Structures are given as C-alpha cells and as structure tokens.
Amino acid sequence: MSKAPDFQCEVTMLMAFVDANTDQPELAKGLNCTGITEDSRAVSKGDIFVARPGAESDGRRYIHQATARGAIAVLCESRDLEQFIQAEKCPVPVYQVENLAMRMGKLGDIFYQHPSNELSIIGVTGTNGKTSCSQLMARVADNLGHKAGIMGTLGNGPVDELIETGNTTTGALNIQADLADFKNKGIEVVCMEVSSHALAQGRVNGVKFKVALFTNLTRDHLDYHGNMQRYAKAKKLLLARKELESVVINADDTTGAGLIKDEDIKAKKYSFSITPINARDSDNSVWTESVTFHDFGIDAKVATPWGKMDFSTPMIGQFNLSNCLGVITTLGVMGFSVKDIGKELNTMAFVKGRMERFGGHDKPLVIVDYAHTEDALKHVLQALKPHTNHKLWCIFGCGGDRDKGKRPQMAAIAEEYTDHLILTSDNPRSERVDSIIQQMMKGLNHPTDCEVEFDRELAIRSSISRAVLGDVVLVAGKGHEQFQHIGKEKIPHSDVDTVKHALEMGSWK
C-alpha cells in the first residue's frame, strides 16, 4: 500500500526535503500531490511517480505511461537518466537526485506526516526467529490491551488481519503508508521484521524505532551480501540507529556476544540467554534459572531485571525457548509486566508455518517448518529427535537463484540427524530442480541412501503414507507459503494443506 488519499503535500516542499532538483521549476508552482507510487500502473491523478532502477526493471522506462495516467510530477534517479527521457520534453516537472533509493524512506515519512513518531516500533532482525518473535510479541501486547500491528513475512496489518506482501520487509513507501494506516487504526505497538536486504537498501530509512531485537546470525543470503562480514554489518545497521532507546541481544549467539560489547551501539543494551553462564550483566539480562523440555512443550523459570517469572509453552525446542526469552526481554524493556507476559506465553501454541504440528496420537506426527538455513534446520531436527519414538523423516529442498554454498551443508545436516531423507524441490525459480539437488547431494556421505522426488507434493504425500506410528516427519523450507516459484510462474502449493490431506487419506494401526 503506497497510496493514501487522505494525505497531500506541496510538491516543491517535498522535493526540497530529499534534495531533488528540477530544470522546470515553473511547472511545479502551486502543485499539491495526493499520492506517491513507484508503480506506473497504479498512478492516479495527482500522484508523484517515483522512477528508479529496480532488481528486475527500471522504473524510468515507464515515465510516459505514468504521466499519461495523471502523474503531476516525476522523481527520478539522476544517474544515466538521459538514456530514458529528455526531462525538458516531459509535460510535468521531472525532479532528479542521486541515490534515490536511500531517500525513499524519508520521502514517505514526510508525505505521511511522520507516522512512526506516534507508534512504539520494535524492529526485529537476525537470520532465524524474526517471524516467531514478531508474531509472539504482537499477540502478547495485543492481548494485554495494547493494540498491535505486525509487518513481516506472514504479512502486514493488525494482529488478526494480516495481508500478505511477498516480502519480509516491504518497500520504503509501502512501509510508511502502512505505518500511517496503523496510526489511523489506533495501533500502539508495531512489531516489524527487518531483513538484511531492507537495511542495506535503506528501506527502513525514515522509520523511528523504539527498541531493536537481535535474534542470531548464521549463514544466509550470501548470494546478496557476498560474505558473513557484510551480512553482519547490514544487521548492525538496525542496532546502531541513533533514535533507539534500547537494544535486546541474544547473548548465546557468537555475533550477539560481540554486539553486546560494540561501542558503536549507543542505545541501552539488554541481553538474554538460555543459561546463566552467558548472562553477563544481571541488571540488564534475562536468563533461565531452570528449564524442562518435554513432549508437551517447555517449562521455564526465568530471572529478569523486573523480577522472576515462569512460563509453560506448548512450543518445543531450545530455539523456541530462546525466542520466548527475546520476547520477554523486549516487552519487559517496553514496560510490560513479566508475569503478565508469562501468562500470555502459556497460551501461545505455535506461529503459522513454524514448528506447526499435525497428526500424532493415532497417526505419525508431522511438523511443518520454515527452516531454510543450515542452522535453522539443525535446530529443528535436534528439537524433534527426543520426540521421535521410531524414525525421523525429513523432506526439504533448497531455493533456486539463492546462496548455492548452503545447499550441500543443509543436506549434510539433514543426513546427520534423520533416518529417512527425501530431497525435493523448494522454489527453484530459474534453476533446474535436478541441478539444485545434485549440488545438495555433494554434502552427503551416503547419497544412495537418500530419496529424490522432484515433485514436492508427491514427496510429502509419499513420505507420510509410508511413515508408521511413532515416526516424526519434518517438512521443511516453505512453512506458511502458498506457492512454489517455478520459472517465472507462481504455482499454488501449500505444505500445510498437503500434509493435512495426506494424514486424512492414510490409515495407521
């Protein structure tokens, strides 16, 4: 959403705030814009059309279409603009500025009248756990009387009204428009997943965060960042922001331990740990004094700067304990009662597509999880092993056009922890499924022992039909997703729906 008819702004003033200039100032006199968009197809009369290079196309190619639809001004990336248009021949003022992408957040913030100033925004970053922490925090806050909104992988909107966006963190204009919408709906607390891509590309510029939560850092997105150092540097961009009141850091994570000591981070630091050993500062730390993992979840007693508390959750796995501690610490920093937080966590069963359970009892237990990194897959399999009375199955693939180096590593992890391994497709995108799987198999010690089935739905159905009582079947990699990206097509597919159908059709004694 980047169109809000209730807002308007003088064009010349808005352009001055982002240091944009035009050779046609006479055309801009007296103009008021009523919207901003980067999509030429979505332009309405009175809009400013923003035209800049993108990942797949260049918006400057569509300037004429935008003006024909009623755009009253154009804001362009100035570099190489002459390849696309002669500004002086355009019927509306064409503003130019270098590095436009990094100014988009400020542009949206000004147009939508600084919505984040009136919201308590929690930014959540890290390789794994962003979605679980954001969802849990928002639901706890909402249940405790503070209307909450979410921006992340499962969608944007109030807690129970999420609209899918297709990205963990949307574009800068969409973020500001959504924040303005949140403000108008009376939302107080916003839990925003902040991806490394969004940080590196400046998509959250102009957002005023109150607290930042760092979950962990493990290998992912190296196809974009190049190496772990640049990946870590991108994540740190959130934690080092000047407006932050507090940052919450996972002390059990190697990168997190370094961030706790990092002098570039000026906000007050709080840490959390699943053991007292890593709780370095009791005045600003949260840690578990005792914990029990069992078939029905986790029971934990926790020490915090705001008093001791305990909680019992049906979620399983050490990583979910860590997620819960991150939630407790962050909401504690925000002023919520830790005892109230604990009571709410007791009622939280799962986050959609995250360790989501099906079957069990008179059927094999099937888990659907979004794990798509080697670290996430390892932690999920480690968590499931104690709950497996017979055999542990794993069905997963690796995404195409993404970090190829993690493919053999993920397969090696799966081989180490499972009894039955089935390699299948994920989102192959422009790559061949057989090529992806061949790269995965390079990580296997015994490649002839695994199964290969290119058709993901068939791989899931076949595995569940062959599992026996006492088996646990993990379907990993896609979680909540409703499509497979194959070539340039989005093919409808749901791991959850496939699992449900397979369990309904099966018969176990």
Task: Give yes or no for a contact between 203 and 160, defined as CB atoms under 8 angstroms apart.
Answer: no
Give buried/exposed letters for 171-192 (b at 16+ CB in 10 A, else e). Answer: bbbbbbbbbbbbbeeebbbbbb
For residue 269 the two structure tokens come to: 């630091």
pLDDT tens series, the chain, 509 aa: 444 447 889 999 999 999 999 988 899 898 999 999 999 999 999 999 999 998 788 999 999 999 999 999 999 999 888 888 877 778 999 999 999 999 999 999 999 999 999 999 999 999 888 999 999 999 999 999 999 999 998 899 999 898 888 776 778 999 999 999 999 999 999 999 999 888 989 999 999 999 999 999 886 655 655 677 788 788 889 999 999 999 999 999 999 999 999 999 999 999 999 987 655 566 899 999 999 988 788 999 999 999 999 999 988 889 999 999 999 999 999 999 999 999 999 988 778 888 899 998 899 999 999 999 998 899 899 999 888 889 999 999 999 999 899 999 999 999 999 999 999 999 999 999 999 999 999 999 999 999 999 999 999 999 999 999 999 999 999 999 999 999 999 999 999 999 999 999 988 86
Domain-wise residue ranges, the chain:
9-100, 112-276+318-338, 356-505
List the structure tokens of 197.
């891509």
Neighbours of 10 (CB within 10 A): 14
Intrachain domains 9-100 and 112-276+318-338 with the same fold:
no
pTM confidence score: 0.86
Contact criterion met (CB below 8 Å) for 76 and 54: no
- 44 near 65, Cβ under 8 Å? no
Distances in Å between the Cα of 127 and the Cα atoms of 107, 479, 489 are 29, 16, 27
User: 112-276+318-338 sits in which CATH class?
Assistant: alpha beta
> Is the domain covering 9-100 a CATH 3.40.1390.10 domain?
yes
SS3 411: helix
The secondary structure element, H or E, covering residue 258 is helix 254-261
Q: Name every residue whose Cβ is closer than 8 Å to that of residue 90 and which is 6 or more positions away in sequence.
A: 24, 63, 67, 74
Q: Of 23, 24, 58, 25, nearest to 40 (Cα)?
A: 58
356-505 placed in CATH 3.40.50.300: no
